[in-house]
Structures are given as C-alpha cells and as structure tokens.
Structure 1
Amino acid sequence: MDLLSRIAEVIVPVFLIVGIGYGYARKHPPDLAGFNRIALDVLAPVLVYSALASKDFRLADHLPLLLGGTILILGSGLLAWPLARALRVSPRTLVPVVMFNNCGNMGLPLALLAFGAEHFGAAVALFAISNLLHFSIGARLTSRAARTRELLLSPVMVATALGFASALIDIRPPDLILSGMQLLGDSMLPMMLFALGVRLTSLTRAGVALGFVGALARPLIGLAIGLPLAWALGLEGAAKGQLLLFAALPPAVIQFMLAERYRQEPDKVAAMILVGNALAIVFVPLALALGL
C-alpha cells in the first residue's frame, strides 16, 4: 500500500497539470509558438545550467547513471532498426521516436517528485545527454540534410557544455545569481506539462492505430534494456529508479519538431508521440513500481 501511495504522489500532480492543459485547450486552443521559443532559448538553457552548476551536483557520482542512459538510447535505436524493417516503416521515422524519450516535458517533473531535489541534478544530466545525442545522431538519423553543427550550437547545448564545465572545475556563479537562475528554470516544469496536455488535443482516431507502433515500442524496448542494464552497472536506490523511469518514458515531443523541419513523415511521428504520451499513464507507474 505504501508503494501505491508513493506512486500516486508522483504521478497524480503530473497528470493533473497535463489534464488541465488538455481541458483548457479543448475550449481555448492556445498558440504555443511563443512559449516554445522562450522555452528552448531561455528557460531550458537556464534550467540545465543551474542544475548542473549546483553545489549539490557532483558529476563523478552520476557517471554510471549517465553511461546507462547513453547505452539505453543507443541500444534502443539498434533494436528499433530491425523492427522498422519488419513493420515496413521507414527507419528514419520510427528509430528516433524509439531512441529518444520525453525526459524534458515529463521526465524532469516526475524525477523531481519521485526522487527529490537532491537527485534532480542527475535527471537534468540525463536530459542533457539525451539532447546532445538527439541533436547530433538523432538529427542525422531523421534526415541526411540535418545541420548538426547548427543544432549543437543551440542555447540548450551551449548551456549543457557550460554546466558540465562548471561541475568539472567547480567554478560556479555566486549563490544569489544561481538562485535566481534556478527559480527561472523551475518555472519551465509545470509549463512543459501544460503544453504537453495542449498537444494531446491534436490526437485523432485515425492516428491512434498508427501511433501505437512507436508508442509501445519506446517504453517496452527501453525497459527490456534498462532492467538488465541497471543490474549490470550495479545501480541502486535513486540511480536505479532514475534509469528505469528514463527507460519507460514516452517518445520525445521535440522529435516532431525535427520530423516537421526535415519533412520526415511528421504526421506519423506526431501520432506515435501523442499516443505514447497518453500511454505514459500505464508505463510510468510500472517503472516507478520497479524502481522505488
């Protein structure tokens, strides 16, 4: 009973905010273009840097977890490739959807609620590693025309590099400045969940059947890799829980932006992402039950 109560304490606030976003958008569809631009250019970089530069974050303590996250992303891609061939779906459409999860919109708030502020830096580090791979390997998988250099010089990637540098050399901004940055970055978490709820209003009946392919493959392949990987790396406690939660998260919303930019069947990608995020209500509690 205690475990069920703990899981409820984590997922209910998250899905409540998603539900509010969904309900609001059904009556008053908002234009998220401005928020997306602010989130990518300001809020996400500040969130990433302030978490990685925090005194509570020690990079050496989280290297096994970050290694596990990297292996999980690359391993998911390797398993997704033959699946795409078997299902006669373009690998450029399916593989990035299975590889990259929604560790920003959904993963960060869940990690904060499940494992506490003292372990939040590790979740942000996983988010940073995922973004680094997504904007390099993931972009090239989506399209040969992807300009990796342009993506890697984005504000989020620059903030990631500076954040890891601060953690390595132990040079940080004064506490007064860092506190302000953390306050600004933290404001992104509920807004990301609200925006996710807004996006779910775009899901159509026609897209549901198609969307189940990537929606199910993402968490199932992730957990199939994540469970033995956590054991192999000797992860315990919060580190094990973070890896399993990371493994079970739905497809990354940002993959739709890449698919749309490079015209790689964005309608199919959107269906898989939306169904996958709706099904998170099943897979997230499962991951928390395994990891808590």
Structure 2
Amino acid sequence: MGTSCCPPCTDSDGKDNFDVSGWCNGSNGYFEDKCNGDYAVDYYCQSGCGNCAPTYRYCEYGCSDGVCNLQPTTTSTTTVRYVAKKRTWGDRGGLPPNIAKPKKTCFDGIKNCHDGSCEEGIDCGGPCKPCLSCFDGIQNQGEEGIDCGGPCKPCPTTPITTTTTSTTTTTIVQYPTCSDGIQNQGEEGIDCGGPCPPCKIEQPDIVGNVLKYTGRGSLLIFPILLLILGIYYREKRRDREAEKKYGYIIDSILKERGLTDST
C-alpha cells in the first residue's frame, strides 16, 4: 500500500502576523489577508494536513489591507500599532460571535450614539437622562434664577424710573429668585415650593389647640348657667303663686262650712 502525504501549506508572513499583509496557500485553497469592518483577518497554516485558517484582531483605529491602522504617538515621531487579543475561529466565514466592539452606554464618559439615538452631551440627552441646560425651566447648575445667571445668560433687570421736580431716581428690580425672601414666582411659601425646594411641613401645636378650644368652651358655659338659673326661679315663682291661690280657695271653703274661727 502507498503512503498518502498532505500537500504543503505556505504562509507568506508567518503565523498570526497582523503587521504585514500577506497570503496563505494550503490544501483548502489560497487566501489573502483582508479586513472585515474594523477587524483584521490574517490567514495562517494550521497544524495537520496544511489547511489555511483565519485569526482575527479588533483594530481601534480601523483596518486597511488586512493590517490595523497605525496610531501616532505624542512623544516621538514613531508610531505604534494598537494590539488586541487574538482569537482563532477557524475558516467559518464572518466574525466570531465572542469578538465585539465595546458597547456604548450612558456611563462611558463619551458623547456618542446608541440605542437608536444620539446623546446631546456627554452621557446625557437622547437615550440618556436629560442634560442640564439653560432652557429646562429649573433653577440648577449654579443658576441665580430659573435658567438665568451662573452659566446661563444674566438674569434680566427691570429699571423703574421715578421723575420728581428736581431729580430722577432709577430703581433696579431684581428678577425673582428662590433666595430673595419674597413669596413670588408661584412659590407655596417664602422661597420654597413651586420652582424652589419643597417647603418644610410644620407640626401642629396640639397643646395650644386644646387650650384654645377649651377656652372657647368656658365662654359658652356661663350663658347656659344663667339660662338654667332663670328657668329655675321662674318655676319657683309659679309654685308660690299657685300655693297662694289654692290656700285662698281652701280658706273660703272652710269659712263657708264654719270650720274656721270667724273672729
């Protein structure tokens, strides 16, 4: 019986070489290094019967002709190449499922687009929480008034001119704020509620209320007592008058019958 030999495999740039664009010629065909999006694809000779297989690397600054683009340094005239972890996936076509770009989020410190819309600022607006602005109707981010002062445009002032016979006085009225000591701009209390911080809830004075209503009750008792005494004396007076009347009738009857002393 004859002995079968595997055909030789040739890799022009050596195994897993992402610095040079090359090719691989093996038993399964001829393949040239290439780019797949931001991934560099390098073909190399596998052990065994000389098949060519791909390996992948993510390129932070893009890919050209199967090689990751260079990144200029700030300390010298030389350049460096971004190095990522390499994974061998085999000649299955496409990118391996466990290699992906870093996910863009609302907490990565970068103004970018994700989840179907773009951020208006760094990690705010669009798919993230609303950005602080000078147009949100809220006194925040060091503003002196609502959407004015601090990082926003100056709060407006209203000049009021008073003319007299000899002098003219100009009074500057400040824009309402949450620290002017005046209940205005829809506040529920002085500098609280509405567009300002919530007002503190005062606890009721239970003892004071009890004394207050007890004092009112004592004022009502006095006229009631006077009314009761008046009714009592009126009834006593009627009883005395009735007693006199009945005594007179009895005396008359006794006199008619001669039962009383006529002298």
Structure 1 length normalisation: TM-score? 0.14
- Which structure has the greater CA radius of gyration? 2
Higher RCO, 1 or 2 (CA under 8 Å, sep at least 6)? 1
Return the structure number with greater helix share.
1
Structure (1 or 2) with the greater strand fraction? 2
